[in-house]
Amino acid sequence: MMAKLITPPAKEPVSLEDMKAYLKQDSSAEDDLLSALIIAARSYLEQVTGRHFLSQIWQVTLKVTKEREISLPFHPVQRLVSLAALTDQGDLTALDLGDFKLEQHSNPAIIKKLQSSHPPSAGRLVIQLETGFGGQESDVPPPILQALKMIVSRWFDCRGISNPSDDEAINVAVSTLIAPYRTVRL
């Protein structure tokens, strides 16, 4: 499997203004640092939970199998953007989205090939999908937002020289907040 980010989130789940209010910071002297820490904390939590928080477009290339179900590596999935078959010679053929059904509420999300569709004879499928809870900060579950703020606060205090799992108090609090949102792969 290959995955490539096509369109990153348009904004972060916690705004700079909200983060500054959380930290009780009035000065704009460290806005660049705070913005970078917000991005880093979101990336960290997305990796730890196995979920994307705000809307983003990803392209995934998977091997074609004879199975009628394709498990997607990301969650939550909002919609399929496009599907294409990629031959071993590098030819790309668009597939009709109507021949597939997205089961976005399963974890992992699944694409089902409908009975009427013929499986592509290509070696790989190229799938573009929109992931994330939604496009607004309010779409992201509050416990995730709180965990993100706690991590940014800790990193801000230590100037980024801290791993959340190294600080027992932060680790326990963050782990508890994100536990319901973790994707466990067996």
62 C-beta neighbours (distance < 10 Å), count: 18
Q: How far, in Å, CA of 150 to CA of 64, rounded? A: 42
CB 84 within 8 A of CB 60: no
- Which 8-state DSSP code applies to residue 117? S
pLDDT at 118 over 60: no
Query: Residue 121 has what pLDDT?
Result: 59
The pTM assigned to this predicted structure is 0.83
63 C-beta neighbours (distance < 10 Å), count: 10
* Domains assigned to the chain: 13-53+136-181 (1.10.3230), 56-131 (no CATH)
pLDDT tens digit sequence for 148-179 = 999 999 989 887 566 656 677 778 889 999 99
CB 174 within 8 A of CB 147: yes
pLDDT tens digit sequence for 11-63 = 999 999 999 999 999 999 999 999 999 999 999 999 999 899 999 999 999 88
